[in-house]
Amino acid sequence: MLDFCAWKGILPDCEMIRTDQINEAFERMKRADVRCRFVIDMTSLVKEATP
């Protein structure tokens, strides 16, 4: 299946979220309100840690 998807250029739908949005994303998953894959933007972690 992975080879077929790669051959046809089929990619998952992704939604980038910041680290401060993780709890909201988890709540959406529990409500089954998700039609895509969450991807955490790790650069937002560095921005939060910097004063």
**Angle (CA) 13 31 27, round 5°:** 85
| Per-residue model confidence as pLDDT tens digits over 15-28 | 999 999 999 999 99
Place of tokens 């895509």: 36
pTM score, whole prediction:
0.65
Structure tokens at 17: 């979220």
Backbone φ and ψ for 6, nearest 5 degrees, come out as -65, -40
Per-residue pLDDT at 48: 62
Q: Would you kindly state where each structural domain of the chain is located, as residue ranges?
A: 11-49
SS3 50: coil
Structure tokens at 16: 């980038």
